[in-house]
A and B are shown apart, each in its own frame.
Chain A
Amino acid sequence: MTGQSLPLLATLGWRNLWRHPRRTLVILFAIVLGVWFMIFSAALMIGIVEQQLQDTIFNLTGHAQIHNPKFRDDPAIEHSMPAPNQALLEVLNSRDVVQWSARVRLPAVAMSVRESRGVMLVGIDPQRERGLSFIGEPVVEGRALESISDNGIIIGRRMAEKLETRIGQRIVIMSQDRDKEVADRGFRIVGLFQAELEATETAYVFAGLATTQKLLGMGSDISEISLVTNSREGLDPLVARLSNAAPELESMSWQELEPLVVTAMEFYEAFMVYWYLIIFAAMGIGLTNTMLMSVFERTREIGLFQALGMRPRFIVGQVLMETLILLVIGITIGNLAGWLTTDVLLASGIDLSAFAQGTEQFNMASTMYLTLRPNDLLQINALVIALGLLASLYPAVKAARYVPVEAITRT
């Protein structure tokens, strides 16, 4: 095909489409619906996964962590690490790190007058947790911790219910200290935090970093350093730099820390492609049928074209162009509809709080946010155009194979 003939094919394709406006509108509607559905389900699926990722990162994980190499397998006090040295501090305070914080994180038992529970005692630096984890956010009741040597403790809202205690009362925290003796201490509850998942609210209690270190006789030792960075791509080099600065410690990105989240993301991405194919099959079969019909109807006309000297590949081109125009219109409207539903209509998320316990069962937050990624849009549109043209190849080739004389004489 020469460059000149393209406009001609486009004109032919466009006019052919509107010979049967009703038929074109029906198949157009199927394409729009299909494209919209692909976009919507991608946004829903990716939204759920991204939110799980955000929650995981905000749930004391961060983008990367540094530990004693033995700590992750066996989170015990003897697997603590020293406070960061000069070399490590240099990397931590570099431009790539938005926020970092040192924590003590050890198993303990929390006892109120009536009940006792196993918890994770987390000693934090309140100022540094801001923007790093959920505990840096304001608490739902009472006050947040004010400094590393704050004497109060913050527990989960639902934890307070389980322990039958409330703000202002004391609970006893019991754990093992450096010499493997039982260390215990009473804390006054100064604030209650709230988390989306009940498991989070009952898993952690937060005290000042220095207070915790003193209670457990740890000196300046800590359990972990957690950090967030501002670029996803820069994470791996950053982790490598951390490893270089502290070779005796273990520096890991969230992908290594939470392999399940990564597995889930990969699973969903693979699943999405299958899902697209199913949706495409549903509309593709209609597309092939419609193009076939439109070619059958035009048998005589196509025969005439050929008799007048049009090459078979131009006939293929003509049908493909017709499909392309159809697909482009369908995709444009579909994308628009997809953007409208995800970014405008449902921009504030889908509220499932009526099913809060159910979403909890799935480890999901009760509000679902749709996430539209440019990459997914690109993938969907490319897939629909490629497969759509493929689906109309059969009718196109069919038309090109007509024998002119037979085709013209057919009624």
Chain B
Amino acid sequence: MSKFKKKQGNVTPGISTASLPDIVFMLLFFFMVVTKMRDTELMVKVNTPQASELTKLEKKTLVNFIFVGRPTDKFKSKAGTKPRIQLGDKFATTDDIPLFLEKHKVSVAESQRQSIISSLKVDVDVTMGIIGDLKTSLRKAGQLKVNYSAKKRERTK
């Protein structure tokens, strides 16, 4: 008796998912390249305003960041609701500015110290009192190049 080989059941092959990890890795590499590690937890709310006359910050190593905003809910009990300055990873006052600037300065080569810029990331809702004090202490410390961080918008007509 000839054995009848049972013909393989005609099943349409399922969608190959072998390339799914490849797609995901591509997305992953994109994020790895485009973003940078947030090295400090933001303890203040910073929603920067919009402006049209923006200049790009070259050379991140020459930039120090100063955050000013109202404390986030997590820190409201510790720091209150009035605008606060955050330097690095803790709250600070204008008296801490000279030391903070100095610490950043020593990490920069002597020849490039004049190009150091302070990037002020300030929330829209902050009142100018604290900003004025901040600017005064920056001036006293000799840090005159300042960049007010903002999001791009079109110029008014």
**A pairs with B:** no
Chain B residues within 8 Å of A, Cβ to Cβ: none
